[in-house]
Amino acid sequence: MKYFFNQNYNLMKIKINEIYYSIQGESSYVGLPCIFIRLTYCNLRCTYCDSEYTFYDGKDMDIKEILNEIKKYECNLVEVTGGEPLFQKNCIKLLEELVELDYKVLLETSGSLSIKNVPKKVTNIIDFKCPSSGMKKKNLWDNIKYLKSHDEVKFVIGDKEDYNWAKEKINKYNLDNKCNILFSPIYKKIESREITKWILEDNLNIRFQIQLHKEIWDDKDRGV
Protein backbone atom coordinates (compact mmCIF):
# COMPACT_ATOMS: atom_id res chain seq x y z
CA MET A 1 0.00 0.00 0.00
CA LYS A 2 1.22 3.51 -0.84
CA TYR A 3 1.74 6.00 1.97
CA PHE A 4 2.28 9.21 0.02
CA PHE A 5 -0.49 11.76 -0.20
CA ASN A 6 -1.14 14.77 -2.40
CA GLN A 7 0.23 17.84 -0.62
CA ASN A 8 -2.49 19.97 -2.20
CA TYR A 9 -5.04 18.17 0.00
CA ASN A 10 -3.43 19.33 3.24
CA LEU A 11 -5.74 22.30 3.77
CA MET A 12 -8.95 20.70 2.48
CA LYS A 13 -11.11 20.48 5.60
CA ILE A 14 -13.79 17.89 6.23
CA LYS A 15 -15.95 17.73 9.35
CA ILE A 16 -15.44 14.24 10.77
CA ASN A 17 -17.79 12.68 13.30
CA GLU A 18 -15.60 9.68 14.07
CA ILE A 19 -12.94 7.36 12.68
CA TYR A 20 -12.81 3.81 13.98
CA TYR A 21 -11.81 0.24 13.16
CA SER A 22 -14.43 -2.50 13.40
CA ILE A 23 -16.19 -5.34 11.61
CA GLN A 24 -18.17 -4.42 8.52
CA GLY A 25 -21.80 -4.99 9.49
CA GLU A 26 -23.52 -4.65 6.11
CA SER A 27 -23.17 -5.05 2.33
CA SER A 28 -21.42 -7.90 0.49
CA TYR A 29 -18.33 -7.07 2.59
CA VAL A 30 -20.11 -8.02 5.82
CA GLY A 31 -17.90 -9.64 8.44
CA LEU A 32 -14.63 -8.18 7.18
CA PRO A 33 -12.40 -5.88 9.25
CA CYS A 34 -12.93 -2.33 8.03
CA ILE A 35 -11.85 1.24 8.81
CA PHE A 36 -14.83 3.60 9.03
CA ILE A 37 -14.58 7.32 8.30
CA ARG A 38 -17.87 8.85 9.39
CA LEU A 39 -18.58 12.35 8.11
CA THR A 40 -20.81 14.89 9.85
CA TYR A 41 -24.04 16.34 8.39
CA CYS A 42 -26.99 14.81 6.57
CA ASN A 43 -29.55 16.32 4.22
CA LEU A 44 -32.19 13.72 5.17
CA ARG A 45 -34.17 12.92 8.31
CA CYS A 46 -35.24 9.29 8.00
CA THR A 47 -37.84 8.08 10.50
CA TYR A 48 -35.66 5.15 11.59
CA CYS A 49 -32.30 6.96 11.65
CA ASP A 50 -29.83 5.30 14.04
CA SER A 51 -27.09 7.92 13.70
CA GLU A 52 -28.67 11.26 14.54
CA TYR A 53 -25.44 12.13 16.37
CA THR A 54 -23.88 12.68 12.93
CA PHE A 55 -26.15 15.62 12.10
CA TYR A 56 -23.91 18.22 13.77
CA ASP A 57 -21.22 16.62 15.98
CA GLY A 58 -17.66 16.43 14.72
CA LYS A 59 -14.35 18.17 14.28
CA ASP A 60 -12.70 19.73 11.26
CA MET A 61 -9.81 17.66 9.91
CA ASP A 62 -7.74 18.13 6.79
CA ILE A 63 -7.24 15.18 4.48
CA LYS A 64 -3.64 14.70 5.62
CA GLU A 65 -4.86 14.30 9.23
CA ILE A 66 -7.50 11.79 8.17
CA LEU A 67 -5.00 9.70 6.22
CA ASN A 68 -2.54 9.74 9.10
CA GLU A 69 -5.28 8.57 11.45
CA ILE A 70 -6.32 5.58 9.35
CA LYS A 71 -2.69 4.52 8.83
CA LYS A 72 -2.77 3.37 12.48
CA TYR A 73 -4.81 0.36 11.38
CA GLU A 74 -3.39 -2.46 9.29
CA CYS A 75 -6.43 -2.74 7.08
CA ASN A 76 -6.98 -2.12 3.37
CA LEU A 77 -10.80 -1.83 3.46
CA VAL A 78 -12.17 1.65 4.16
CA GLU A 79 -15.78 2.81 4.25
CA VAL A 80 -16.68 6.49 3.99
CA THR A 81 -20.09 6.98 5.56
CA GLY A 82 -22.22 9.47 7.47
CA GLY A 83 -24.65 11.11 7.84
CA GLU A 84 -24.51 11.80 4.15
CA PRO A 85 -20.83 11.98 3.17
CA LEU A 86 -21.45 13.60 -0.22
CA PHE A 87 -23.05 16.58 1.55
CA GLN A 88 -19.47 17.84 2.08
CA LYS A 89 -17.85 18.77 -1.23
CA ASN A 90 -14.37 17.69 -0.12
CA CYS A 91 -15.60 14.12 0.32
CA ILE A 92 -14.78 13.54 -3.37
CA LYS A 93 -11.19 14.67 -2.76
CA LEU A 94 -10.92 12.28 0.17
CA LEU A 95 -12.21 9.41 -1.97
CA GLU A 96 -9.72 10.25 -4.71
CA GLU A 97 -6.84 10.21 -2.28
CA LEU A 98 -7.90 6.93 -0.69
CA VAL A 99 -8.06 5.31 -4.13
CA GLU A 100 -4.66 6.74 -5.01
CA LEU A 101 -3.26 5.12 -1.86
CA ASP A 102 -4.60 1.72 -3.01
CA TYR A 103 -7.28 1.33 -0.37
CA LYS A 104 -10.39 -0.66 -1.24
CA VAL A 105 -12.97 2.08 -0.76
CA LEU A 106 -16.68 1.80 -0.03
CA LEU A 107 -18.97 4.84 -0.07
CA GLU A 108 -22.28 4.55 1.77
CA THR A 109 -24.65 7.20 0.45
CA SER A 110 -28.39 7.81 0.55
CA GLY A 111 -28.74 8.25 -3.20
CA SER A 112 -30.19 11.73 -2.71
CA LEU A 113 -27.02 13.43 -4.02
CA SER A 114 -25.21 12.73 -7.28
CA ILE A 115 -22.51 10.05 -7.45
CA LYS A 116 -21.41 11.30 -10.86
CA ASN A 117 -18.00 12.50 -9.66
CA VAL A 118 -17.24 9.58 -7.34
CA PRO A 119 -14.04 7.82 -8.53
CA LYS A 120 -14.82 4.75 -10.61
CA LYS A 121 -12.80 2.43 -8.38
CA VAL A 122 -14.96 3.29 -5.38
CA THR A 123 -17.81 0.89 -4.58
CA ASN A 124 -20.96 2.93 -4.13
CA ILE A 125 -23.50 1.51 -1.69
CA ILE A 126 -26.64 3.50 -2.45
CA ASP A 127 -29.40 3.38 0.14
CA PHE A 128 -32.48 4.39 -1.85
CA LYS A 129 -35.21 5.40 0.59
CA CYS A 130 -38.43 3.39 0.84
CA PRO A 131 -41.80 4.98 1.77
CA SER A 132 -41.57 4.30 5.53
CA SER A 133 -38.37 6.35 5.70
CA GLY A 134 -40.39 9.49 5.00
CA MET A 135 -37.69 10.47 2.50
CA LYS A 136 -38.61 8.67 -0.73
CA LYS A 137 -39.15 11.96 -2.58
CA LYS A 138 -35.47 12.73 -2.04
CA ASN A 139 -34.25 9.76 -4.11
CA LEU A 140 -32.17 10.89 -7.08
CA TRP A 141 -32.92 8.21 -9.65
CA ASP A 142 -30.51 9.81 -12.10
CA ASN A 143 -27.80 8.06 -10.07
CA ILE A 144 -28.77 4.76 -11.66
CA LYS A 145 -27.01 5.67 -14.90
CA TYR A 146 -23.73 5.97 -12.98
CA LEU A 147 -23.95 2.54 -11.35
CA LYS A 148 -21.11 0.09 -12.01
CA SER A 149 -21.26 -3.69 -11.73
CA HIS A 150 -19.31 -3.64 -8.43
CA ASP A 151 -21.69 -1.10 -6.84
CA GLU A 152 -24.57 -2.06 -4.54
CA VAL A 153 -28.10 -0.74 -4.05
CA LYS A 154 -29.77 -1.15 -0.66
CA PHE A 155 -33.42 -0.93 0.33
CA VAL A 156 -34.25 -0.74 4.04
CA ILE A 157 -37.61 -2.49 4.49
CA GLY A 158 -40.12 -1.74 7.24
CA ASP A 159 -43.31 -3.37 5.95
CA LYS A 160 -44.94 -5.00 2.93
CA GLU A 161 -45.51 -1.61 1.29
CA ASP A 162 -41.76 -0.94 1.38
CA TYR A 163 -41.06 -4.40 0.01
CA ASN A 164 -43.48 -4.04 -2.90
CA TRP A 165 -42.20 -0.53 -3.62
CA ALA A 166 -38.59 -1.74 -3.71
CA LYS A 167 -39.52 -4.66 -5.92
CA GLU A 168 -41.24 -2.29 -8.35
CA LYS A 169 -38.16 -0.05 -8.52
CA ILE A 170 -35.89 -3.05 -9.16
CA ASN A 171 -38.08 -4.08 -12.09
CA LYS A 172 -38.55 -0.56 -13.43
CA TYR A 173 -34.84 0.23 -13.52
CA ASN A 174 -33.59 -3.32 -14.17
CA LEU A 175 -31.41 -2.95 -11.08
CA ASP A 176 -30.67 -6.61 -10.49
CA ASN A 177 -28.91 -6.73 -13.86
CA LYS A 178 -26.82 -3.65 -13.07
CA CYS A 179 -25.35 -4.40 -9.63
CA ASN A 180 -25.87 -6.23 -6.34
CA ILE A 181 -29.17 -5.55 -4.57
CA LEU A 182 -29.52 -5.64 -0.78
CA PHE A 183 -32.69 -5.84 1.32
CA SER A 184 -32.30 -4.98 4.99
CA PRO A 185 -34.98 -4.88 7.74
CA ILE A 186 -35.58 -1.78 9.82
CA TYR A 187 -34.09 -2.76 13.16
CA LYS A 188 -36.73 -3.98 15.64
CA LYS A 189 -39.62 -2.97 13.36
CA ILE A 190 -40.05 -6.05 11.17
CA GLU A 191 -39.01 -9.67 11.58
CA SER A 192 -36.30 -10.90 9.22
CA ARG A 193 -38.30 -14.03 8.52
CA GLU A 194 -41.10 -11.92 7.02
CA ILE A 195 -38.86 -10.34 4.42
CA THR A 196 -37.05 -13.58 3.62
CA LYS A 197 -40.42 -15.28 3.13
CA TRP A 198 -41.44 -12.66 0.55
CA ILE A 199 -38.09 -12.85 -1.21
CA LEU A 200 -38.35 -16.62 -1.59
CA GLU A 201 -41.99 -16.49 -2.68
CA ASP A 202 -41.12 -13.97 -5.40
CA ASN A 203 -37.81 -15.62 -6.30
CA LEU A 204 -35.97 -12.30 -6.19
CA ASN A 205 -32.35 -12.12 -7.27
CA ILE A 206 -31.23 -10.06 -4.27
CA ARG A 207 -29.15 -10.47 -1.11
CA PHE A 208 -30.87 -10.32 2.28
CA GLN A 209 -28.84 -8.83 5.12
CA ILE A 210 -29.12 -7.84 8.74
CA GLN A 211 -27.00 -5.27 10.56
CA LEU A 212 -24.40 -7.64 11.95
CA HIS A 213 -22.79 -5.02 14.20
CA LYS A 214 -26.07 -4.66 16.11
CA GLU A 215 -26.03 -8.39 16.80
CA ILE A 216 -22.46 -8.26 18.11
CA TRP A 217 -22.63 -5.02 20.11
CA ASP A 218 -25.39 -2.98 21.71
CA ASP A 219 -27.34 -1.09 19.04
CA LYS A 220 -26.66 2.21 20.85
CA ASP A 221 -22.87 1.72 20.93
CA ARG A 222 -20.78 4.08 18.81
CA GLY A 223 -17.46 3.39 17.15
CA VAL A 224 -18.24 -0.29 16.52
pTM of the model: 0.91
pLDDT number for residue 99: 98
> Quick one: DSSP state of residue 159?
S
pLDDT of 112-145, one tens digit each? 999 999 999 999 999 999 999 999 999 999 999 9
Question: Is residue 195 within 8 Å of 189, Cβ to Cβ?
Answer: no
pLDDT number for residue 128: 97
Residue 96 CA from chain centroid, whole number: 17
Domains defined along the chain, listed by start: 7-216 (3.20.20.70)
C-alpha separations of 125 from 106, 140, 180, 184, 191 in Å:
7, 14, 9, 13, 23
